[in-house]
Chain A
Amino acid sequence: MLIEFVIGALKAIVIVFLALSLAGVLLWFERKGAALIQDRIGANRAAVLGVGRRLGLPNLGLVNTLMADPLKLFTKEDFVPEGADHFLHGLAPFLALFPILITFAVVPMGDTLRIGSRTINLQASHLDVAALYVLAAIGIGVYGLALGGWASNNRWSLLGGIRASAQMISYELALGLAFLSVVVTYGTLDLQQICQIQGGVWFGWLPRWGILVQPVSFLLLLTAGMAESKRVPFDVPEAESELVAGYFTEYSGGKQAVFMMTDFAEVVLAAVLVTLFFFGGWQVPWLYHDGFHFPGPHGAFLQLPNYAVAILQIGSFWAKTVLFCAFQILVRWTLPRFRYDQLMQFGWKGLVPVGLLNLIVTALVVVLVGAKY
């Protein structure tokens, strides 16, 4: 009983810790990536006692991005503007971050890990309707931004809050349609089962990943997920050339850092969802529960113990996630910002009809061919 509780708590802590750490590391990723794209050096200041320089190592800016900047933010004055709603102004950043963090509870990092006689499902919380849970949590995430904008008693903030909530609601529709197509394809709402279904091969060598049957849905989910994270090219809620900083104009210090963290956590969430639905989640090509079964006429087999399989699966899952995070950062520094009407038209007249059409085609194929993936 106690052991079960400890295992459950450990799983929950590990997944949230990993997601938040990745969100933090993404900040460094973004700075160095932007520098690379713009032909600059990027963050290269600050070192702990100058150790790196004495050893002749290049300064990668890890210290000032991952240690100095958060320290600076969390020790700054926490400013609340005059006439602001103090309670909601303080609550809003956490209301934005919390729903995104709880979605990671249903994310499977691997299949099962056997320790002694105990079999551990590498998913913090097993839920039959996990996809619905994720949608519900993303839906609640709107409140933090809307209320943060409203409670600041500032026109820029209010406009940013209105834009943020309108944008997120509009793109949730496309997100929901992408989810529906995926769910109809796999015939389940359980994220762990969705990953398990994507195991195995087609034609003896091709991994059965969802991208091969649902490419349209993949593009929809990636686009809508990027729009949900409110970063360039979808950053009209905080467009600095129009609205100063949008809904977090009046935030400083730690609360502003929490808002920034929310954006990065949403980047991670979008990458995680894409990985789970279309790239097999924790699946490694040709890796089964007992080891590698390589394709080919002779069919080489490499036997692996259970813990090695679990480690490979967890590594595979996070590698794919980091890859899609990096892709989102690449897009963020490549495309210019949409105009507000373009953003709305793209969502309502572009993504939603495509999503509906995709859903209809998927449903037709599933009914005609039979509900076997």
Chain B
Amino acid sequence: MPLWLFSFLAVLAVISALGVILQRNPVHCLLGLAVNLLDIGVVFIGLGAVTVGFLQIIVYVGAIMVLFLFVIWLLNLQAEGFGGYLGVRFFGAVGAAALAAELAVMFWHAAPISRLVAAPTPPGSITSLGRSLFSDYLIAFEVTSVLLLTAIVGAIGLARRLPSSTDLAERSATGQTSLRSASSTIERREQIPGPIPARVDSGQGRDRRIA
């Protein structure tokens, strides 16, 4: 990757990262984060890790950021000013200070940039990636996949609406057996509006007028 391209991407990454924390509107912040992740993906590609770069774009920009967007819409988050709980701000300040200190130490011990050499790119990067995933890092890979599967099952379990005790009583009263039909009864009961008394009144009113 030529130096001018790297400089451009680096500056863009910093600007978009600042955009995430400095903007008020949550959707604008999210866009900043998406641009940042896309930018980092392009840096990966430019440095020779082509597969990892594209996977980063597919997973983070294409899926996770859209999920974030859904959450922002779902919670109806609005633009907000500075404020919040004192405890949150205190711990935020402590965390930021710790991160800044870590960054300073990193810079202090890092080699000068002129002495850095890019690692040689392995040929057929996706082949070597697959090979090392399924040989050297097999256990970590499998454990991660089991962890993800557990998370998915857990999310479905939390999202599923279980019938409460009154619904169960109603279900036994109506003789329904399957869980599916019970839950559909709940939905139906919520959707159908009750009888509207106003309609009866208006009917009487018309009768009176005719009389």
Footprint of B on A, CB under 8 Å?
85, 88, 127-129, 132-133, 135-136, 138-140, 142-143, 146-147, 150, 158, 162, 165-166, 169, 172, 189
Contact = CB atoms under 8 A, between A and B. Distances in A.
B57 interface: yes
Contacts of B38: 140
A281 B208 CA distance: 79
Contacts of B70: 162, 165-166
Interface of B is mostly: helix
Given A128-B50, A158-B73, A136 B66 contact: no
A164 to B, nearest CB: 11
B195 to A, nearest CB: 28
B145 to A, nearest CB: 14
A143 B58 contact: no
A345 B63 CA distance: 19
B205 interface: no
B67 to A, nearest CB: 8
Most A-side CB within 10 Å, residue of B34, B41, B62: B62
B29 interface: no
Contacts of A138: 62
Max chain B Cβ within 10 angstroms of own Cβ: one of A85, A129, A136: A136
Given A136-B54, A146-B69, A165-B66, A128 B61 contact: no
B54 A142 contact: no
A169 B70 CA distance: 12
A236 B34 CA distance: 26
Nearest to B62: A139
A139 B34 contact: no
Interface string B23-67: 000010001001000100100000000110011011001110010
A136 B57 contact: yes
B211 to A, nearest CB: 44
Contact of A143 (B34, B73, B126): B34
B66 A132 contact: no
A128 B126 contact: yes
Contact of A129 (B54, B61, B69): B54
A139 B50 contact: no
Given A129-B126, A140-B57, A165-B69, 6 more contacts: A132-B51, A132-B54, A139-B62, A140-B62, A162-B70, A165-B66
Contacts of B125: 128
19 contacts: A85-B27, A88-B31, A129-B51, A129-B126, A132-B51, A132-B58, A133-B54, A135-B58, A136-B57, A138-B62, A139-B57, A142-B62, A142-B66, A147-B31, A158-B73, A162-B73, A165-B69, A165-B70, A166-B70
A143 B31 CA distance: 9
Which are the 5 A-B pairs with shortest beta-carbon distances? A139-B62, A132-B54, A136-B57, A136-B58, A136-B54
A162 B54 CA distance: 25
A188 to B, nearest CB: 9
B51 A139 contact: no
Nearest to B25: A85
Given A140-B38, A165-B69, A172 B62 contact: yes
A165 B66 CA distance: 8
A310 B176 CA distance: 68
A146 B58 contact: no
Interface string B69-80: 110010000000
B2 to A, nearest CB: 15
A312 B124 CA distance: 32
B126 A139 contact: no
Contacts of B62: 135-136, 138-140, 142, 172
A88 to B, nearest CB: 8
Contact of A146 (B41, B51, B57, B66): B66
B61 A150 contact: no
Nearest to B61: A140
Contacts of B34: 143
Given A162-B73, A165-B69, A165-B70, A132 B61 contact: no
Contacts of A165: 66, 69-70
Contacts of A146: 66, 69
Given A140-B38, A165-B70, A189 B126 contact: yes
Contact of B63 (A150, A162, A166, A169): A169
A145 to B, nearest CB: 10
A80 B57 CA distance: 31
A237 to B, nearest CB: 14
Contacts of B73: 150, 158, 162
Contacts of A85: 27
B27 A147 contact: yes
A136 B63 CA distance: 10
B122 to A, nearest CB: 12
A123 to B, nearest CB: 17
A246 to B, nearest CB: 15
